[in-house]
Amino acid sequence: MTPVSLLEAGPTDRTVDRRAAALPPMGTGSPSADAGFAAVDDATDPISLVHYLDRVSGQLDGVKRQIRQQLEVSEGEFVLDVGCGAGDEACGLSALVGLSGRIIGVDASTTMVQEARRRATGSAVAVGFAIGDAQALPFAAASFDACRAERVLQHLRHPALAVTEMARVTRAGGRVVVCEPDWQTLVVDHPDHALTQRILDFRAGRLQSPWIGRQLARLFRCAGLVEISVRLVSVAFGLSEAIDSFRLEVTLRQATQAGVITATDKSHWLAELTETAQTGCFVAAATCFLVRGIKPFRA
């Protein structure tokens, strides 16, 4: 492909409702420390979200490996990581494209992009980072051989736009790979099913697109991608991993503040889970949808 000055590429001519894209998650009222990954830079302590990504990354090794397999990156290719976070996967992929290729990570958060640049500093890898919105990517059409996004579209108000944008910036014959959870697949074994479901439903309702996993294949087709495949990747969690990965402390605090559960519900629910974990019987799992499509040569 023709090398392009990717980081200098201007904004697209797409009409995107940026005001809508910038809105906070459902029910939060305004961007705040609680908006999480939908508005990292508005968090009280944005770096804590970087640390969170570092902590959970090990639990997702299997997921990341499968995304790489689906991406089929080879030497000399230009690859885009949308919602790249702290940039670790972009740096990892750069070893596969070598110095003749290039990996670009794009993220809406200045904190994330600064951290990604810091991590890439000094390494002789062909990787660069840009601040940008997944729903209006700041790259010219057909700039990349492959494009990936992992755990990003769940935070977007307009995930369909992001898939359309990923298809647009991918060259004909190139690959688009997205991996997202579907939060209705989150199961936690607890004797109080009703309370558990109330907590999990509240958590899902805080996200912009909690059901994105199951919707991806349809969004790929609407974006004109072909040869669409869907793989399911389930991840099981221990109690402390679950509390961390699902940000359960935050969820429980918010659910209590919102009056969805009482402070007593919160402490009883956690106490029961802790007791179950001590007997070695704690079960929590969620499923990610790993979807791949090809940009056709003819629309």
Ligand X SMILES: C[S@@+](CC[C@H](N)C(=O)[O-])C[C@H]1O[C@@H](n2cnc3c(N)ncnc32)[C@H](O)[C@@H]1O
Site residues, ligand X (CB under 6 A): 21, 37-38, 40, 53, 83-85, 107-109, 112, 133-135, 150-152, 155-156
Query: How far apart are CB 37 and ligand X at their closest, in Å?
Result: 4
Report residue 143 CA to chain centroid gap: 22
Half-sphere exposure of 275 (CA within 13 A, CB side): 8
Query: How far apart are CB 8 and ligand X at their closest, in Å?
Result: 19
Q: In three state form, how does the secondary structure of 102-125 look? A: EEEEEECCHHHHHHHHHHHCCCCC
Query: How far apart are CB 137 and ligand X at their closest, in Å?
Result: 9
Q: Closest residue to ligand X, Cβ-based?
A: 85
Q: Which two tokens stand for residue 168?
A: 């647009």
| CB closer to ligand X out of 135 and 143 | 135
Query: How far apart are CB 191 and ligand X at their closest, in Å?
Result: 31
Give the C-alpha separation, 200 to 187, whole Å.
Answer: 8
Contact yes or no for 46/111 (Cβ under 8 A): yes
| CB closer to ligand X out of 52 and 205 | 52
Query: How far apart are CB 163 and ligand X at their closest, in Å?
Result: 13
Query: How far apart are CB 264 and ligand X at their closest, in Å?
Result: 31
Query: How far apart are CB 20 and ligand X at their closest, in Å?
Result: 11
- 85-112 CB burial, b ≥16 within 10 A, e <16: bbbbbbbebbebbeeebbbbbbbbbebb
Give the C-alpha separation, 198 to 196, whole Å.
Answer: 5
Residue of 45, 47, 19 lying closest to 34 (CA atoms) = 45
| CB closer to ligand X out of 41 and 265 | 41
Q: How far is CA 58 from CA 14, 38, 86, 127, 150, in A?
A: 37, 22, 14, 22, 14
| CB closer to ligand X out of 37 and 269 | 37
| CB closer to ligand X out of 69 and 278 | 69
| CB closer to ligand X out of 86 and 225 | 86
Give the C-alpha separation, 7 to 116, whole Å.
Answer: 15
Q: What are phi and psi of 159, to 5 degrees?
A: -60, -30
